[in-house]
Amino acid sequence: MPKFAPKLSELKKEFEEKPGLLKGDYSDKEWWEIPVEFRDGNWCYPTKPEVLEDLKFANPRKWSPTDDDWKLPDGWEKTIKEGMKDRVERFRSFKLFLDTCVRCGACADKCHFFLGTGDPKNMPVVRAELIRSVYRNDFPLAEKILKGFSGSRKLTPEVIKEWHMYFHQCTECRRCSVFCPFGIDTAEITMMGRELLNLIGVSNNWILNPVSNCNRTGNHLGIEPHTFVQNIESLVEDIEDLTGITVEPTFNRKGAEVLFITPSGDVFADPGVYTMMGYLLLFHHIGLDYTISTYASEGGNFGFFTSNEMAKKLNAKMYHEAKRLGVKWILGGECGHMWRVVHQYMDTMNGPADFLQEPVSPITGTKFTNAASTKMVHIAEFTADLIKHGKLKLDPKRNDHLTTTFHDSCNVARGMGMFDEPRYVLNNVCNSFHEMPENTIREQTFCCGSGSGINTEEYMDIRLRGGFPRANAVRHVKETHDVDSLVTICAIDRATLPALMNYWNPGVSVYGLHELVGNALVMDGEKKRTEDLREDPMAGFEDEEGDED
C-alpha cells in the first residue's frame, strides 16, 4: 500500500460526509449543473473593445465575467457549432481526442490545477468533457440518437461561462497527456476551446493585448525599435560596469551568420534582463557573428493561446527577418511556449525555411541535425555543446553564493524533450545543484501554474493554487538541501515563479540558466569580479581591504 494512499475508512468518511455530486444539494443532478461562480481572484479582465477592434476579432464590447449577461453576439450558438464542426474536420487530433477517451481517470490527479484546487472540473478528463458533452449532442450520429444516455447537453450561456472558467484554469502544460493511455492531449482541447470562445468575443485582455502589440511592433509589450535598442544598450553599460568588458551586440545587421531571437521579457523585465546579460557575455566570449532584430523582437507567441491562425501570423516574423537579414540560421533564447511553437508547428506553419542552412556551430563545428528542418537551435543545446568541447572558460565558484535546483519548463521538457542539456550547463557553471523529487521533474515536471497567458496579477489567487505542486517540490529541496535559487529556461517562469516562491517558499529566488552562465564566464581582459550580474556579492570574491576598483 503506498504511503500516502487514503485509507478505506477515510474514503468512506469523505463519501458520507462531504458535499458531492451524488448527495446533498447536487444529488440526482448532472456534473455540469454545479454552477460556475466568478469572484475576485478567479477571473481575468476581459479584452478591451479597442484591442478586439484592432485585431478584427469578434464582438468588441465592455463586459465582465461577473455580469449575468455576457452580451454574446446574435447567433452565437450557430457560430460555436459551426466553429466546432470546422475544427473537428480540420484537426484530426481534435476529433480523435473527443472520440477516444474511455474516462479511465489516469489523468485526474496529474493536473496541477486539480491538485491545487480539488475542483473536479479541473480533472483533465472533465475539462475535456466540457466540450465533449456539447459535441455529443450535435455531432456523432449514434450519440445524437442516444441523447440522454450519452452524457450530452445543450449549448447554453452557462456552458460558455463554464468553458471560460476552466479553459483558463488549464495552462496547456500537457502533464496529463504523459499519463493518458491513449495519449490524449488536453492542451489541444483547451486550445480548441479558447479558439471557439474567441469566435464570440469571450477572451482575456492579458492574452489579446500582447497579441495586438506583437501584431503591431513585433513584441508583446509593444516596444518600438529605438526603445528595444536602448534597453539592450543599457544592459551593455551594466555589463561594462560589472566586468570591465564592452560587449557589442548589433541590430538588424544584414549578413550576420546568426539571428538571435529571445522573449522580450529578457529585454524589459526583472529578472529576465540578467539572463539577457548572460547571453551577451557568452556571445562576446566566443566571438559569435550574430545580430538581433528589432522586428522579430519577441520569441514568445501569445497568438498560440488564441488561435492557430494568430499563432502562425505572429510566428511568421522569425523566418521573415531571417530571410531579410540573410543569416544562415536562427539561435533561440530561453523560452517555454516559443519552443513548443518552433519545435512542433513552425516548420509546417511557416516553413520550409529552405533559404536557411542546417545549423552548424561556428565555434565547435557541431551540426545540429535535430534542427535541420526548422533551422533554429535552442541556446541550452548551443551552450552545452560549447562546454562539451571546452570552448568556455568557466569558474563555477562564482555561483557559490547560490544553492540551485532546476525547474523543467513544460513546453521545453514535454514539448521538445529537452532534459539533459540545461542540467549539463548548470552542473558546469555552479557547484551546488539539487534535483527536486523524481515525479516533479523532466517529463513529469509540474507547471509554474501561470503559463498559457494567465500570468496576470488579477488572477493571482488561482495562480498560487495552481502553482502549489511546483512550489511544494521546491520546498522539499529547500528543506533538505538549503536550496535558495530556482533556475529555469522560460520567460514566463522567470516572470511568475518569483511571486510563487515569495508566497510559498520565501527566500528562494528565480534565475535564468544563462544568467548563471554569465556569472561563471571568465572573460579575457575582465576586471576583478566581486558581484554577480544582479550586483549581489559573490561568495569568496569579496573585495579585500585596500583593493581599488
Partner 1 sequence: MAYVHVFLGHFAKDMNREIVQLIREKRQIVLDQWKGYVLSLFPSAMKSATPIAQAIEHGLGDVLDSFETTPEKRTAALSGVIRILAVQSFSPSKSMSVFFALRSILREIGGSGKRQIKQKHWDEFQTSMEQLTLEAFDSYMVHREKIYQLKVDESLRQSFMTRRGTRA
- The binding site for partner 1 (CB under 8 A) comprises 2, 4-7, 10, 13-14, 17-21, 39, 42, 109, 114-120, 123, 230-231, 234, 267-271, 273, 457-458, 460-461, 464-465, 468-469, 472, 495-496, 498-499, 502-504
Containing 59, the helix (H) or strand (E) segment is none
Query: How many Cα neighbours within 13 Å face the side chain of 408?
Result: 29
Nearer to partner 1, 238 or 443 (CB): 238
Task: In angstroms, give the least distance from the CB of 66 to partner 1.
Answer: 15
Separation of first and last alpha carbons in the chain: 63
Task: In angstroms, give the least distance from the CB of 6 to partner 1.
Answer: 4
What is the distance between the alpha carbons of residues 340 and 381, in angstroms, rounded to a whole number? Answer: 15
Q: In sequence order, what are the residues at sequence separation of 6 or more whose Cβ sits closer than 8 angstroms to the Cβ of residue 319?
A: 346, 350, 351, 353, 356
Nearer to partner 1, 267 or 380 (CB): 267
Task: In angstroms, give the least distance from the CB of 514 to partner 1.
Answer: 17
Residue 513's closest CA among 334, 393, 284? 334
Task: In angstroms, give the least distance from the CB of 139 to partner 1.
Answer: 29
Task: In angstroms, give the least distance from the CB of 118 to partner 1.
Answer: 3
Helix (H, G, I), strand (E, B) or coil at 99: helix
Nearer to partner 1, 66 or 234 (CB): 234
Task: In angstroms, give the least distance from the CB of 267 to partner 1.
Answer: 7
Nearer to partner 1, 232 or 256 (CB): 232
Nearer to partner 1, 42 or 213 (CB): 42
What is the distance between the alpha carbons of residues 481 and 42, in angstroms, rounded to a whole number? Answer: 35
Nearer to partner 1, 423 or 514 (CB): 514
Task: In angstroms, give the least distance from the CB of 253 to partner 1.
Answer: 22
Cell output for 62:
465592455
Helix (H, G, I), strand (E, B) or coil at 180: coil
Tell me the C-alpha to C-alpha distance, in Å, between residue 376 and each of 122, 220, 316, 359, 463. 35, 21, 13, 7, 32
What is the chain's Cα-based Rg?
A: 24
Task: In angstroms, give the least distance from the CB of 24 to partner 1.
Answer: 9
Nearer to partner 1, 229 or 322 (CB): 229
Nearer to partner 1, 166 or 319 (CB): 166
Helix H segments across 351-440? Answer: 379-388, 410-416, 420-429
Provide the 10 A C-beta neighbour count for residue 499: 19
Nearer to partner 1, 52 or 221 (CB): 221
State phi, psi for 131 to the nearest 5 degrees: -90, -40
Task: In angstroms, give the least distance from the CB of 455 to partner 1.
Answer: 8
Q: In sequence order, what are the residues at sequence separation of 6 or more whose Cβ sits closer than 8 angstroms to the Cβ of residue 490?
A: 334, 335, 336, 409, 411, 412, 448
Helix H segments across 460-512? Answer: 460-466, 468-481, 491-504
What is the distance between the alpha carbons of residues 467 and 501, in angstroms, rounded to a whole number? Answer: 9
Cell output for 480:
533538505
CA dihedral sign of residues 107, 110, 113, 118: positive
Nearer to partner 1, 457 or 526 (CB): 457
Nearer to partner 1, 366 or 509 (CB): 509
What is the distance between the alpha carbons of residues 406 and 389, in angstroms, rounded to a whole number? Answer: 23
Task: In angstroms, give the least distance from the CB of 42 to partner 1.
Answer: 7
Nearer to partner 1, 18 or 254 (CB): 18
Helix (H, G, I), strand (E, B) or coil at 262: coil
Task: In angstroms, give the least distance from the CB of 548 to partner 1.
Answer: 26
Nearer to partner 1, 96 or 106 (CB): 106
What is the distance between the alpha carbons of residues 266 and 272, in angstroms, rounded to a whole number? Answer: 4
Letter string b/e over residues 512-523, b meaning 16 or more CB atoms within 10 A of that residue's CB: bbbbbbbbbbeb
What is the distance between the alpha carbons of residues 523 and 527, in angstroms, rounded to a whole number? Answer: 9
Task: In angstroms, give the least distance from the CB of 396 to partner 1.
Answer: 27
Contact, 415 vs 174, CB < 8 A? yes
Task: In angstroms, give the least distance from the CB of 207 to partner 1.
Answer: 15
What is the distance between the alpha carbons of residues 341 and 189, in angstroms, rounded to a whole number? Answer: 16
